[in-house]
Amino acid sequence: MSTRRPDPLAQVSDFDIRLLKLFRSVVECGGFSAAESALGIGRSAISQQMSDLEQRLGLRLCQRGRAGFALTEEGREVYQSTQQLLAALESFRTEVNGLHQHLRGELNIGLTDNLVTVPHMRITNALALLKTQGPDVRIHIRMTPPSEVEQGVLDGRLHIGVVPQVGALSGLEYQTLYDERSLLYCAVGHPLFYVDDQQLEDTRLNAQEAIAPTFRLPPEVQNHYQVLNCTASASDREGMAFLILTGRYIGYLPDHYAQAWVQQGRLRVLKPDSRFYDVSLASVTRKGRRPHLVLESFLGALAEV
């Protein structure tokens, strides 16, 4: 498409919304072929509808061909606007349904990775209670870094998130759920795996190659990493686990997440009496949000469990 649309888009029709939903699915699936099963239609039909949308908007949204699928700069901006539009439409539908006191609609949740092994199970149990109260509620979970969860709640793409409580951002409300303890680990094959803690000096421990997280942590927690020889980094806890399990690095992991590998004899804790830190996990919602019956019911379920 060589030229932009000469006139502004006059209105957004039901047809446009259907095309934008298809566009969102294609982007989230990573291409036309991967989206076939998610959309239940063939690649040629997807291609045709994407062309219809590009013609409707007067913009080239993506590159497709032998090099693979990739969004253009305009495509990335349209994708962000599409997320906001569809979230606003769903919010409107949920609010109208709430007028009839029927628990219907969607709940979009953003979670920090690897919370499913937390023994308290407050999130899981609250979701189960929500489905009991509203069998027709549709639940969508996104696993993203804490900063993206908070941004998603701020811009309305997410109704609620669960993140480590580091510092309150303006415009958000935080409610503590429980505390999470992280311990220092090494894996089979690491030089310290069979060294007794009583014989393990701090200078030797601090000299080992370690992993630093790139996500936000409280200042008192950052001190635990500053004394280590951090030569690698990871954006989430799963990435840290990958590196620790190589047997080349030491690093902190939540104890509930590491427990299965400890039981298998693949990980061991290093000096658990002194090398640990606790972080509070909190639910996060937007201040001044509109009434949303599904969200309020889920918050009530979290309090109940």
What is the tens place of the pLDDT at every residue in 233-262? 998 889 999 999 999 999 999 999 999 999
* Cβ atoms of 249 and 265 closer than 8 Å: no
Distance CA(161)–CA(144), nearest Å, equals 10
Domain extent listing, the chain: 14-83, 104-305
Q: Map tokens 């009530």 to a residue.
A: 300
| Domain 14-83 in this protein, CATH class | mainly alpha
Residue with the bigger pLDDT between 138 and 12: it is 138
Q: Mean pLDDT of all residues in the chain?
A: 88
29-38, 110-119, 294-303: segment of lowest average pLDDT:
110-119
Distance CA(5)–CA(60), nearest Å, equals 10
- pLDDT(3) > 60: no
Residue with the bigger pLDDT between 10 and 216: it is 216
List pLDDT tens digits, range 212-225: 998 888 888 999 99
pLDDT band (50, 70, 90) for residue 117: confident
* Residue 230 one-letter amino acid: C
3-state secondary structure of 39: helix
* Cβ atoms of 205 and 220 closer than 8 Å: no
pLDDT band (50, 70, 90) for residue 268: very high
Packed helices 122-133 and 293-304: angle between N→C axes, nearest 10 degrees = 130
| Average pLDDT score over residue span 265-279 | 95
| Average pLDDT score over residue span 56-75 | 86
The H-or-E segment that residue 110 falls in is: strand 106-111
Instruction: Indicate whether this model's pTM tops 0.85.
Output: no
Distance CA(140)–CA(52), nearest Å, equals 28
Residue (of 286, 291, 304) closest to 133 by Cα position: 304
Distance CA(247)–CA(189), nearest Å, equals 5
Q: Residue 169 gets which letter from DSSP?
A: P
Kindly report the CATH number that applies to the domain delimited by 104-305: 3.40.190.290
Distance CA(54)–CA(75), nearest Å, equals 9
Query: Residue 2: its pLDDT value, please?
Result: 46
89-103, 150-164, 196-210, 211-225: segment of lowest average pLDDT:
89-103
